[in-house]
Amino acid sequence: MERTKILVTGGAGYIGSHAVVELYEAGFQPVIVDDFSNSQEQAVRGIEEILGVRVPCHRIDCGDVEALRAVFAEEGSLRGVIHFAASKAVGESVQQPLKYYRNNLGSLLALLTVMQEFGVPHLVFSSSCTVYGIPDQLPVTEQTPTKPATSPYGNTKKICEDIITDVVKAPESTVRAILLRYFNPIGAHASAKIGELPLGVPQNLIPYVTQTAAGIREKLTINGDTYDTPDGTNIRDYVHVVDLAKAHVVAVQRLLDVRGEAVEVFNVGTGRGNSVLEVVHAFEQATGQKLNYVIGPPRTGDVPAIYADVTKATEVLGFRTTTSLEEALASAWKWQQSLVSE
């Protein structure tokens, strides 16, 4: 039987590459689109080694309507799109807001245009818990009010959600969408053939932790320990990237199977909050590595605490996480070691 074709924009990126693997293993035919501006060919090789097959990959900028049209025409019979391709560095977005609005809004507009032209009916969009800002109540549900974003990056996620909602609700729309609001993705594929490849000095916690343990960085600086949390450090919901990738598979399956609402929103996290210090200690426990760290000042724009209520994703999508924090951190460490030994 022919596999159902799903286009994965940003399919060579961190979450995208894991989603490509999970889609293929669930019986779909993923087709990668990536401009490799913040990803590497190595990810595609890793995917193909895991799967033992070639995966179609188009090197194009997703904001280029003509190039997208050519891909849709060449591939034919696409049934859906998972849209990961985006610029994602919060700090950089403050420095270069235009780049973020241009890339993140431009690629979505191009994609929706071409999806409508070719009658491709299903879209899964990478959103972020950043849309909740500093929430008044924890955990956050999908009903928790969204708040003005604290960075241009966060703002693009909210605006993209609004664009998709308006487009799919239009009377003549042929597209339906699921918006997945991710919490903090961490870890790597068990094979250590794909994982996160941060360029330069990592801004995110886990790559900084693994690079410190590997001796690439001298020490981790914890961004403040005087927040109103039990140990004073920030609380996040760290979800293993393979669990997160699987959420995309069940979201695609729902769009294909159920003629539901035009747009649905789901939180994708574990439902657990862990502090930065808890992560540091869990990493030491899971890997046996001692981590050199100091407490520094708070980072501007950081949300003190956020974690997900995942009841809706569990009940409607059948989404379940299967990986503990320790296992996720061990997988991140295995991935880091594979990079060092290359």
Q: Helix-strand-coil percent breakdown of the chain, rounded to 5?
A: 40, 20, 40
Residue pointed to by tokens 């818990």: 129
If binding is defined by CB under 6 A, does position 222 make contact with ligand UFG? yes
- Which residue in the shown chain puts its C-beta closest to ligand UFG? 234
Which window, 50-58, 170-178, 217-225, 243-251, contacts ligand UFG (CB under 6 A)? 217-225
State the virtual CA torsion across 269, 273, 278, 282 in degrees, nearest 10.
-30
Closest CB 269 distance from ligand UFG, rounded Å = 11
Residues whose CB falls within 8 Å of the CB of residue 327, separated by 6 or more in sequence, listed in order: 187, 240, 286
Q: Which residue, 26 or 94, is less far from ligand UFG as judged by CB?
A: 94
Q: Which of 280, 271, 264 shows the shortest CA–CA distance to 306?
A: 271
Contact characters 233-252, ligand UFG, x per CB under 6 A: -x-x----------------
What is the rounded CA–CA span in Å between residue 104 and residue 269?
Answer: 23
Establish if 187 lies at the interface with ligand UFG (CB under 6 A): no
Q: Please pick, from the candidates 40, 116, 204, 253, the single residue that binds ligand UFG as defined by CB under 6 A.
A: 204
Report the DSSP beta bridge partners of residue 57.
32
Question: Which SS3 state, helix, strand or coil, does residue 135 take?
Answer: coil
295 makes contact with ligand UFG (CB under 6 A): no
Site for ligand UFG in 35-74 (CB under 6 A): none
- Which CB, 260 or 296, lies closer to ligand UFG? 296
x/- letters, 137..176, toward ligand UFG (CB under 6 A)? -----------------x----------------------
Pairing label, strands 274-275, 235-236:
antiparallel
Q: Can residue 129 be called a binding residue for ligand UFG (CB under 6 A)?
A: yes
39, 9 in Cβ contact below 8 A? no
Q: Which two tokens stand for residue 178?
A: 């699921």
Return residues touching ligand UFG (CB under 6 A).
88, 90, 128-130, 154, 184, 203-205, 208, 220-223, 234, 236, 276, 299, 302-303
